[in-house]
Amino acid sequence: MEIRALVGRNVKRFREAKGLSQEQLAFEADLHRTYVSGVERGVRNPTVVIIARLATALGVEPSKLLEL
């Protein structure tokens, strides 16, 4: 699975499991909502610093967002 699609799937999965909207996740991770939407759709190419911020907001380890 292409890495951006994989990250998008994982971010969406963990976000929904936590009952957060994209807006809430974006606020927690200090990102724009449209950026979170783009990550989830696999059209963004986030850096590891952004991955770490998303992971913190989702309450998971950063490596979890890149797991198959």
Residues that bind a copy of itself (CB under 8 A): 3-4, 6-7, 45-49, 51-52, 61-68
What's the CA gap between 68 and 64, in Å, rounded? 9
Q: Which is nearer to a copy of itself, 19 or 47 (CB)?
A: 47
Q: Which is nearer to a copy of itself, 21 or 50 (CB)?
A: 50
What's the CA gap between 33 and 39, in Å, rounded? 10
Q: How far is the CB of 52 from a copy of itself (least distance, A)?
A: 4
Q: Which is nearer to a copy of itself, 3 or 17 (CB)?
A: 3
Backbone torsion region of residue 64, taken as left when φ is above 0, otherwise alpha when ψ lies between -120 and 50, otherwise beta: alpha
Q: How far is the CB of 45 from a copy of itself (least distance, A)?
A: 5
What's the CA gap between 46 and 51, in Å, rounded? 7
